[in-house]
Structure 1
Amino acid sequence: MSSESIPTPQCSTKQYYATNSPWEEAIGYYRAVRHDKNIYISGTTAVDPFSTPSNPRVLHPGDAAAQTRVTIDEIVKAIKALGGRGAESIM
């Protein structure tokens, strides 16, 4: 997992959070982006991050509660990596 900061033209800073998942590079997105005080999360599901985009493996098939826990845990990790407090930061 990594986080990087890139200045934007408006003199603010954007921070990007990426994992080691092959999905991010194959599809071309960051798991999370922080712009000023807002953190935006995208593309977070209960798919095994080490499965391939051509053959995705869903974690906990048939168990929506476990899939939700995995997804929320990943969201909280991204929020904390970008300086958020965690679950209490979710709107």
Structure 2
Amino acid sequence: MIPRKNISSGSPWEDVVGYSRAVRIGNVIEVAGTTAMDGDVLIGEGDVYAQTTFILQKIERALAEAGSSLSDVVRTRMFITDISRWEEAGKAHGEFFKTIKPASTMVEVSALIDERLLIEIEATAVLPNV
């Protein structure tokens, strides 16, 4: 059996909804949809670039806890509430992934769980030689 490691953010919603911030099975790490909430505090209200930057920092921390890094990311998925602001999100994403260049998707969604959230991001990482 391949060992499984669940990475928790400590959010009370993890037990209520039944999810983990990230899950590592073998050499694959999946990071759940991540928003700009820091506990009960929204980071970067009204600012797509700031929210995206904070989210990618959170994803980076989750990957580190799973024994990985941004350099292992092979795919990101960005869910943005206003596609006309794609360049703000893209700029932040590019700052983190400029040389890594994972496969990436950005789609507009009608809403996220809190109307102040402008973007949510998922990531998949694959560890080499594991």
The gaps in structure 1 that reach 5 residues or longer are 1-10, 52-56
Within 2, Cα distance between the matches of 1:40 and 1:14? 12
Aligned mate of 1:16, from 1, 6, 13 = 6
Deviation at 1:43, TM superposition (A): 2.6
Shift of 1:63: 0.9
Match of 2:126 in 1: none
Match of 1:83 in 2: 67
> Residue type matched to 2:59 in 1?
I
Unaligned runs of 5+ in 2: 75-130
Relative contact order (alpha carbons < 8 A, sep ≥ 6): 1 or 2 greater?
A: 2
Residue identity matched to 2:72: S
Report percent identity of matched pairs.
32
Paired residues for 1:62-77 under 5 Å: 62-77=46-61
Structure showing the higher strand proportion among its residues: 2
Count how many residue pairs are aligned between Structure 1 and Structure 2. 74
Aligned to 1:47: 37
RMSD of aligned alpha carbons: 1.3
Deviation at 1:58, TM superposition (A): 2.8
User: What letter corresponds to residue 21 of structure 1 in structure 2?
Assistant: S
Matched residue type, 1:12 = I
- Aligned partners of 1:45 and 1:87: how far apart in 2? 17
Secondary structure of 1:41's counterpart equals: strand
2:15 pairs with one of 25, 28, 50: 25
TM-score by length of 1: 0.73
